[in-house]
Amino acid sequence: MAKITDLVAKLAAPAVEAAGCELWDVEYVREAGAWFLRLYIDKDGGVDILDCEAVSRAVSDLLDEADPIEGSYTFEVSSAGAERPLKRPSDYEKFIGSPVTVKLYKARDGRKEFAGYLAGYQDGDVSITMGEQTVVFRKNEVALCRLRIEF
């Protein structure tokens, strides 16, 4: 059986695209005893509340019609965020050269968090440039890689 997030992504993607946005991620999680279904969307120039509202209305109707989730849940649509996590190879390709933070499962050189610029991504391995050096983190080391805002 397909995962709920995959079913919802397939159902929602055309409606998200029709609203001029890109489906960034789908999350179905239990928090504080309640289930939440979240769509994260993006578009060039950023997402605003009107984009979220348009996608929410369209996808909510599709969810009511298809009824892919048993039981009750709260449905939310929001921007992927400025410091969004990178998950798919296409995410990494899109943001080569961008500032990122890489968090590791286990410390390397006494640190679990590294900030730099995304230099590459291959087979799950993440390369970042920190100053003059480029560091490669193996797929099994990386807990999270997310965009980073610089001030």
Instruction: State pLDDT tens for residues 120-144.
Output: 999 999 999 999 999 999 999 999 9
Phi–psi pair at 4, nearest 5 degrees: -55, -40
Domains of the chain: 4-79 (3.30.300.70), 89-147 (2.30.30.180)
Confidence of residue 151 (pLDDT cuts 50, 70, 90): confident
Q: What is the pLDDT of residue 107?
A: 95
Report, as an integer, the average pLDDT of 78-91: 93
Task: Using the predicted structure, report yes or no on whether residue 1 has a pLDDT greater than 70.
Answer: no
Q: List b or e across 117-143, with b for residues whose CB sees 16 or more CB atoms inside 10 angstroms.
A: bbbebeeeebbbeeeeeeeebeeebbe
